[in-house]
A and B are shown apart, each in its own frame.
Chain A
Amino acid sequence: MDIVTDQQRKKLHPHKFTLWVAIASILMMFAGLTSAFIVKSNQANWQGVEEMPKFFWYSTVAILLSSLAIQMALRAFRQREMGRYRSLIATTLVLGVLFIVFQWLGFGELWDQQITFKGAGGGQFLYVIFGLHALHVLGGIVALIVMFIKAFFGKTKTYSSVPVEVAATYWHFVDGLWIYLLVFFLVIG
């Protein structure tokens, strides 16, 4: 149920605006964690992550492609090419799941390097920070599943592209956040 007044014409849709505020809020959480990381990494006996597991590179490719896919899906939706939209949403969903799988494998690779939960170094922060990021991707996947079900089995026709736009913006955000976190760990970790 949307509630929008006359004046709304000129303004951003409230749901999109809410998303932007939510993004600011999520960023604050990661800012808190990464600044904790920076503070700790300047203290004695710091142990960073020597070698970034290769699966994190695969997952980077997966999430970048998924971002591309959802952008194309949004364009297809706007042009009312529903067949293309459905297959692109499905692609995004698969790539998103693939990202999570690669993250899981990456964690496993790190664990095999004897970097476990013991201690307070870069590896332990990596589990927490990448893990929380993966949770946010999972949230996006849930949203994608809902959209997927609606696109394939929905009875009512929707013309509003707002939900798709909101999902696409969020998806690009978790993509960008991942790139930031990866670069952060490569440079400072």
Chain B
Amino acid sequence: MSEALSVHPEIVTTHDVHHDEHGGGHHKETFISKYIFSMDHKTIGKQFLITGIIWAIIGGLFSVLFRLQLGYPDQSFPILETFFGHWAKGGQIQPEFYYALVTMHGTVLVFFVLTAGLSGTFANILIPLQIGARDMASPMLNMLSYWFFFLASVIMLSSLFIQTGPASGGWTIYPPLSALGQASDGSKLGMDLWLVSMAMFIVSSLLGGLNYISTILNMRTKGMSMTRMPLTIWAMFFTAVLGVLSFPVLLSGAILLLFDRNLGTSFFLSDIVVNGEVLPNEGGSAILFQHLFWFLGHPEVYIILLPAMGMVSEIMSVNSRKPIFGYMAMLGSLFAIAILAFLVWAHHMFVTGLNPFLGSIFVLLTLLIAVPSAIKVFNWLTTLWRGNIRFTPAMLFAIGFVSLFISGGLTGIFLGNSTIDIHLHDTMFVVAHFHIVMGVASFFGMFAGVYHWFPKMFGRYLNNTLGYIHFWVTMVGAYLIFWPMHYEGLAGMPRRYLDKSGWVSFNQFGDLDKMITVVSIIVFAVQLMFVFNFFYSIFKGRKVTTQNPWGANTLEWTTPIRPGHGNWVGEIPEVHRWPYDYGKDGRDFIPQTEPIGANESKH
């Protein structure tokens, strides 16, 4: 091992020579090597973003469709039959279709949009640019990471078009429902495609994660010590660590499930009767799958949330013209969240017959997450406090993120208690909680990132007016959609049900559900407006004319306006200070590349 770890300076020197020519004139690029099978981290990031946007439209549309069912259970929409045929017979969403929509909405949004689309995009674009590297540690693996994601996307998309439909047992694919084809249509071919697609997805995110970690730890420019890294990079780092350690466990669960489905093993199956037929499977444990699933599943919510937190910290500091409050505390709390993420998975399983004593330990660990979360919220608020706030669309989304994180986080304290969870589990309260705190909040972080770094990505600005409309409608809409769900959940209204009109006690919520549906259609339309803004601005947006449009300190703004592969022309700049010297010694901002002055005060 020690031999394998030894370092060979002579080899490295040859690389250096090679790399200094790398910045300016570049090897020939064809259309294919530049835009399709590109190894440039910036292009790969854009590929992730655009694929993520397409998935977000699909996943969002699914939610609009099942909201139609939830808001108007008796109404017939003939147009649905035109589009979906027997899935919407008589213009009404059929039960199988409804469950397929719910499952695919969850799968697509959690994995394809908020994991690949969010951390895939911004880890790729920001890591080399902000730490001062020409590219990732292994551009080849990075390219493969995108193409595995693309393959996963194609397989998942194809499952939407097969006769028995896509997987429909919920995004958590609990066996035995997901393991037995005779149990539901969605557990036939659709489920196999789901598992294969997810296996490809896991390979993609592992390849990406490996690269992010080794790039951050090995490829920082001179002077860029770990504590001089922007918080975005720290967040991406912990995200990658979480992914690399938890996705393999989901893969092992998925492999066991594939065996159960296709080869006749009974890892998760025991004592089952389907349609009057007694199955031979014996000795399996369905709870075992939940342990394997949630060991990934819980870190997964932080994989989604941490990049948003990192970007919000950075954007908030830049647009408050103030240093981030409590850099080390921010870092420590990211670390604490990453550790705790692995120790709380069983809070998803309080009502599965989990030993109550064990449950109480998971309650304690779960509630402990409130501590680092509160530290982060405090630091964001104190960063805003008495700042010279510039309300750019990116900044508005960053502030919106904090609002959503607070209101969604507070309901987490309810759900984290195993006793209250007996009443609240599997109700609309849970839906409200996780949509606000990880769904919409992470989307806000993503939007903030897109508005903030769009000039770096495409050399043009997004349209501001459309940006403000986008923010306000989404912000108000998100609360209008998800806030009332808390009341429904407290009243005991179950989630995932097709039609609740059979319960007299839930009839009082009929109009509320109609309102939620109408608002979600409006919010969806506004997201389409954002997509229009995005693509229009790539080609026709206002051009960026200065290198550093936001007056930011970090390294990505020292590159040319449209950087080539290699990012910097000539030498990579050297770093002399942390990235948050805003409003210091009477100066608006001091870039990281500027050496410490003789009489400079300490930060």
Residue from A4, A15, A33, A169 whose CB has the most chain B CB atoms within 10 Å: A4
Interface residues on chain B, number (Cβ under 8 Å): 67
The one of A7, A16, A43 in contact with B221, judged by C-beta atoms closer than 8 angstroms, is: A7
Asked if B245 and A28 make an inter-chain contact with CB atoms under 8 angstroms apart, the answer reads yes
The one of B15, B211, B248 in contact with A25, judged by C-beta atoms closer than 8 angstroms, is: B248
Main secondary structure of the interface of A (DSSP, over half): helix
Q: Nearest CB to that of B283 among chain A residues?
A: A120
Asked if B291 and A39 make an inter-chain contact with CB atoms under 8 angstroms apart, the answer reads yes
A3 and B19 CA atoms in complex are apart in Å by 7
B583 contacts partner chain A, Cβ-Cβ < 8 Å: no
A residues less than 8 Å from B468 (CB atoms): none
A46 and B285 CA atoms in complex are apart in Å by 12
A residues less than 8 Å from B259 (CB atoms): 117, 124, 128
A162 and B288 CA atoms in complex are apart in Å by 41
A161 and B8 CA atoms in complex are apart in Å by 9
Per-position binary interface string of chain B over residues 239-263, scored 1 when its CB falls under 8 Å from any chain A CB and 0 otherwise: 0000011111101110110010001
Asked if A159 and B11 make an inter-chain contact with CB atoms under 8 angstroms apart, the answer reads yes
Asked if B215 and A14 make an inter-chain contact with CB atoms under 8 angstroms apart, the answer reads yes
Asked if B15 and A45 make an inter-chain contact with CB atoms under 8 angstroms apart, the answer reads no
B residues less than 8 Å from A166 (CB atoms): 4
Asked if B39 and A1 make an inter-chain contact with CB atoms under 8 angstroms apart, the answer reads yes
A165 contacts partner chain B, Cβ-Cβ < 8 Å: yes
A18 and B253 CA atoms in complex are apart in Å by 25
With contacts A18-B137, A124-B259 known, is A13 near B244, CB below 8 A?
A: no
A32 and B139 CA atoms in complex are apart in Å by 30
Asked if B12 and A8 make an inter-chain contact with CB atoms under 8 angstroms apart, the answer reads yes
Query: Nearest chain B CB to A143's CB is how many angstroms away?
Result: 14
Per-position binary interface string of chain B over residues 66-91, scored 1 when its CB falls under 8 Å from any chain A CB and 0 otherwise: 00000000000000000000000000
Choose, from B264-272, B369-377, B397-405, the stretch at the interface: B264-272
Per-position binary interface string of chain B over residues 216-258, scored 1 when its CB falls under 8 Å from any chain A CB and 0 otherwise: 0111111000000000000000000000111111011101100
B295 contacts partner chain A, Cβ-Cβ < 8 Å: yes
A2 and B218 CA atoms in complex are apart in Å by 12
Asked if A119 and B283 make an inter-chain contact with CB atoms under 8 angstroms apart, the answer reads yes
With contacts A9-B9, A120-B283, A162-B8 known, is A18 near B210, CB below 8 A?
A: yes
B residues less than 8 Å from A28 (CB atoms): 244-246, 248-249
A101 contacts partner chain B, Cβ-Cβ < 8 Å: no
Q: What are 14 A-to-B residue pairs whose CB atoms are below 8 Å?
A: A3-B137, A3-B139, A5-B221, A9-B9, A21-B213, A25-B206, A25-B247, A29-B248, A33-B252, A46-B283, A119-B283, A120-B270, A120-B281, A172-B4
By a beta-carbon cutoff of 8 Å, the part of chain A in contact with chain B is 1-18, 21-22, 24-26, 28-33, 36, 39-40, 43, 45-47, 74, 116-121, 124-125, 128, 132, 159-162, 165-166, 168-169, 172
Given contacts A14-B215, A17-B214, A39-B288, 6 further A-B contacts (CB under 8 A): A5-B19, A6-B222, A12-B5, A120-B267, A160-B8, A161-B11
